[in-house]
């Protein structure tokens, strides 16, 4: 178990990153058809793993073009400070993402943070040139996501640690039901509120940086319950 008694699982796209990486790649390099896959996923006809795999096959870009694009993407300005505080407090962080491992490593590498443990889909070149393929080394039986965040939660809890999830959207809903606490952005706020999950709403990692020490010393729990009651 971590010295702090807690471990953090953190989403990437829209949580750490300012924008969704795959969406930005599809807008710039996607061939026709990726929008149909997106619609099928949003309607529940396919899972995110099938959607992402199909969309990645429709990307047409060289590695140089990919790298140039990734250099234009940014993360929350307070995330490096949050990581430093978590390490100071002996709280392990693992990034759990239904996004692309290569993109995450490239973006975080600019900030010296590409050593953070990562569970994500694997992006690899395909043939012919300028085409790509997706594999999902962190998928799980019965889960339609590329990265099963619930399995990541179960793994984190094996040593007896409490789990904090930081996320923003639908890919985090299932995992949020299984953790001890959530720092929630955007759509995840409504999910936690409706499901009665202990959470604090955040606009970014400045808030998370303020809340983390209070979560560890137990003083945040009362405020979270008050927030839920006030929002009801």
Predicted confidence (pLDDT) per residue in 91-123, tens digit: 999 999 999 999 999 999 999 999 999 999 999
Please list the residues that pair with 126 across neighbouring strands: 131
Q: Region 141-168: what's the mean pLDDT?
A: 96
Q: Looking at the domain assignment, is residue 62 inside a domain?
A: no
Which residues, 6+ apart, have CB-to-CB distance to 202 below 8 Å? 166, 183, 184, 185, 208, 211
Q: Looking at the domain assignment, is residue 37 inside a domain?
A: no
Q: Looking at the domain assignment, is residue 105 inside a domain?
A: yes
Which residues, 6+ apart, have CB-to-CB distance to 162 below 8 Å? 5, 6, 7, 180, 181
Q: Looking at the domain assignment, is residue 132 inside a domain?
A: no
Q: Looking at the domain assignment, is residue 150 inside a domain?
A: yes
Q: How many domains does the chain have?
A: 1
pLDDT of residue 227: 52
Q: Looking at the domain assignment, is residue 114 inside a domain?
A: yes
Identify the domain containing residue 203 by its residue range. 6-19+75-123+137-231
Predicted TM-score (pTM) of this structure: 0.94
Distance of alpha carbon 92 from alpha carbon 86, whole angstroms:
7
Buried b (16+ CB within 10 A) or exposed e, 194-224: eeebbbbbbebbebbbebbeebbeeebeeeb
Distance of alpha carbon 180 from alpha carbon 199, whole angstroms:
9
Q: Looking at the domain assignment, is residue 177 inside a domain?
A: yes
pLDDT in tens, 172-188: 999 999 999 999 999 99
- Burial of 139 by CB count in 10 Å (0-12 exposed, 13-18 middle, 19+ buried)? middle
Give the largest Cα separation in the chain, rounded: 57
pLDDT of residue 197: 94
Of 10-14, 66-70, 172-176, 224-228, the poorest mean pLDDT is in: 224-228
- End-to-end Cα, the chain, rounded Å: 35
Q: Looking at the domain assignment, is residue 171 inside a domain?
A: yes
Strands 131-135 and 118-126: antiparallel
Q: Region 6-15: what's the mean pLDDT?
A: 98
The owner of tokens 């969704």 is: 20
Q: The domain spanning residue 153 has which CATH number?
A: 3.40.50.1000
Provide the Cα torsion 168, 174, 180, 185; round to 10°. Answer: 10
* Omega within 30 of 0 (cis) for the link into 231: no
Distance of alpha carbon 45 from alpha carbon 216, whole angstroms:
40
pLDDT-based confidence at residue 232 (cuts at 50, 70, 90): very low
């Amino acid at each position: 178990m971590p010295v702090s008694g807690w471990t953090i699982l953190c989403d990437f796209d829209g949580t750490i990153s300012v924008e969704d990486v795959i969406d930005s790649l599809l807008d710039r390099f996607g061939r026709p058809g990726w929008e149909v896959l997106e619609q099928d996923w949003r309607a529940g006809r396919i899972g995110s793993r099938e959607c992402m795999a199909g969309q990645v096959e429709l990307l047409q870009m060289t590695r140089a073009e990919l790298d140039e694009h990734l250099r234009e993407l940014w993360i929350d300005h307070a995330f490096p400070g949050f990581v430093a505080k978590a390490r100071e407090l002996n709280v392990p962080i693992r990034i759990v993402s239904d996004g692309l491992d290569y993109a995450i490593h490239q973006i975080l590498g600019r900030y010296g943070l590409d050593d953070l443990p990562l569970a994500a889909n694997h992006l690899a070149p395909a043939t012919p040139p300028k085409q790509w393929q997706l594999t999902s080394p962190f998928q799980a039986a019965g889960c339609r996501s590329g990265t099963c965040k619930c399995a990541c939660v179960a793994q984190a809890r094996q040593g007896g640690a409490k789990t904090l999830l930081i996320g923003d959207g639908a890919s985090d809903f299932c995992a949020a039901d299984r953790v001890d606490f959530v720092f929630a952005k955007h759509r995840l706020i409504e999910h936690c509120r409706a499901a009665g999950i202990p959470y604090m709403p955040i606009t970014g990692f400045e808030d998370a940086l303020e809340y983390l020490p209070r979560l560890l010393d137990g003083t945040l729990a009362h405020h979270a319950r008050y927030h839920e009651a006030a929002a009801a």
